[in-house]
Amino acid sequence: DTAIGSVHYISPEQAKGEFTDEKADIYSVGVVLYEMLAGKVPFEAESAVSVALMQLQNNAKRLTEINPDIPLGLEQICIHAMQKDPKDRYQSATEMLLDVEEVINNPKTVFDYSCFVDKSPTKYISDTDKITAETPVITKSRLKKQLTVMKMRLSIMIPTIRKK
């Protein structure tokens, strides 16, 4: 068995060597969106194995804790895309794209996802993460640009996934 890609972007099911489908890609897009907003990947460690374990066991630090200027709806999109269980994620790139478009149209949008109810204690990577010089400043124009890029990436994913 071969894994393709960076360990920072693999889904928990890929890290376990299980069957993957388009929901693994949705997890990876969630990681990319997280990185775009936070200025860093959600899980960083000394080794690839440690990063893979973090993908399985840890929740990423909340984006609004890293930078309170990030719209809550956008954080919710990341959380939904990066759920550990594929059944709790977006079920299609189209579904995720619709939520991204909603936040583009109204940055104050918030969502009501039942998967946000945490059944276990949350493990964050670090309670000491603070806004740093490297943390991107989220302005309305930058947010719109980032969301447009994400929208384009999701639009590209949709036909690719349908071919599988």
Residue, of 134 and 143, whose pLDDT is higher: 143
Q: State which amino acid sits at residue 41.
A: V
Residue-wise pLDDT for 2-24, tens only, equals 555 689 999 999 989 898 899 99
Residue ranges per domain, the chain?
7-116+126-163
Residue-wise pLDDT for 57-98, tens only, equals 999 999 999 999 999 999 999 999 999 999 999 999 999 999
Residues 39 and 136: beta-carbon distance below 8 Å: yes
Q: What is the mean pLDDT of residues 136-155?
A: 67
Q: What is the CA radius of gyration of the chain?
A: 15
Residue 84 CB neighbour total at 10 angstroms: 17
Q: What is the mean pLDDT of residues 96-120?
A: 77
Rounded to two decimals, the pTM is 0.72
Q: Which pLDDT score is estimated for 104?
A: 87
31-34 contacts, C-beta under 8 A, 24 or more apart? 31/82, 32/150, 32/153, 33/74, 33/77, 33/78, 33/81, 33/150, 34/60, 34/63, 34/78, 34/82
Per DSSP, the three-state class of 106 is coil
108: exposed, middle or buried (C-beta count within 10 Å: 0-12, 13-18, 19+)? exposed
Q: Which pLDDT score is estimated for 134?
A: 56
CATH topology for the 7-116+126-163 domain: Transferase(Phosphotransferase); domain 1 (1.10.510)
Query: Does the pLDDT of residue 129 top 60, yes or no?
Result: no
Q: Which pLDDT score is estimated for 21?
A: 92
Alpha-carbon distance 111 to 24, whole Å? 22
Q: Which pLDDT score is estimated for 120?
A: 43
Q: Which pLDDT score is estimated for 112?
A: 80
The angle, 0 to 180 degrees and rounded to 10, between the axes of the packed helices 93-105 and 22-38 is 30
